[in-house]
């Protein structure tokens, strides 16, 4: 029997539907990574190869499943290191999703990290946060469609994501809010879950997770 609050099960495509039907139920989360990791060659470890890109794109269906079940998502690559305990999330009254920055990080100059009014050259999907609402669900669906499109089918998921983010509203650097009461987050989710998506002033709200300015750092 599955009794944990969050269950992550890595399985092959052939068995995913069987396990999903058996274990998915309200009040607990069973995640099924619908990707065949057991048929991978060494190309999966080399950046921007066909195998590497396919492996990266397998993340988004998993994260969409979590968002649909009402969970906030804080995703990081395995090589991310936090310099302080993670006690803050981006303010959900400000943004629906928040991404690390990509191209500007190399300078190390604080002035180069000022994204108060304009977005970075590229958002980085190696470290990012999302709350659960109709806007983020639609965003994930659009991202998955872009990954599978002819234009981006041979590109990595971060490149495809940039195209989807063009139809969003940039809100500047995310304001960190200390995590104190998980019930507060649940209540916020219930209030925002029925919002319409990508129309007028209800476009997806996007922020940057600034490594220099954010309390936890990375």
Residue 81: pLDDT above 70?
yes
Q: How confident is the model at residue 209 (pLDDT cuts 50, 70, 90)?
A: confident
**Average pLDDT of the residues of the chain:** 75
pLDDT of residue 180: 67
- 145-158: average pLDDT: 94
Does the structure show a pLDDT above 60 at 38?
no
Full 3-state SS string of the chain: CCCCCEEEEEECHHHHHHHHHHHCECCEEEEEEECCHHHCCHHHHCCCCHHHHHHHHCHHHHHHHHHHCCCCEEEECCCCCCCCCCCEEECCCCCCEEEEECHHHHCCCHHHHCCCCCCCCCEEEEEEEECCCHHHHHHHHHHHHHHHCCCCCCCCHHHHHHHHHCCCEEEEECCEEECCCHHHHHHHHHHHCCCCCCCHHHCCEEEEECCCCCCCCC
Instruction: State residue 87's pLDDT score.
Output: 80
Q: What is the pLDDT of residue 86?
A: 77
Residue 6 pLDDT > 70, yes or no? no
Q: What is the pLDDT of residues 175-189, one digit of tens each?
A: 988 876 554 544 444
List, for residues 108-149, the tens digit of each pLDDT value. Answer: 566 666 777 778 888 999 889 999 999 999 999 999 999 999
Per-residue pLDDT at 168: 92
């Amino acid at each position: 029997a599955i009794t944990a609050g969050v269950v992550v099960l890595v399985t092959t495509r052939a068995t995913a539907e069987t396990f999903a039907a058996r274990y998915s139920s309200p009040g607990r989360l069973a995640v099924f990574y619908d990707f065949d990791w057991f048929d991978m060659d060494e190309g999966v470890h080399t950046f921007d190869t066909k195998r590497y890109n396919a492996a990266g794109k397998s993340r988004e269906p998993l994260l969409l499943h979590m968002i649909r079940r009402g969970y906030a998502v804080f995703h990081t690559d395995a090589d991310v290191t936090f310099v302080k305990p993670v006690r803050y999330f981006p303010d959900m009254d400000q943004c629906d999703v928040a991404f690390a920055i990509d191209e500007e990080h190399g300078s190390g100059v604080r002035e180069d990290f000022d994204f108060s009014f304009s977005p970075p050259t590229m958002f980085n999907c190696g470290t990012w946060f999302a709350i659960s609402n109709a806007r983020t669900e639609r965003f994930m669906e659009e991202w998955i469609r872009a990954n599978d499109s002819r234009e981006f089918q041979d590109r990595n998921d971060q490149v495809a994501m940039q195209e989807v983010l063009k139809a969003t509203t940039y809100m500047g650097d995310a304001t960190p809010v200390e995590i104190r009461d998980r019930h507060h987050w649940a209540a916020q989710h219930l209030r925002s879950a029925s919002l319409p998506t990508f129309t007028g002033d209800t476009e997806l709200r996007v922020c940057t997770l600034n490594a220099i300015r954010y309390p936890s750092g990375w």
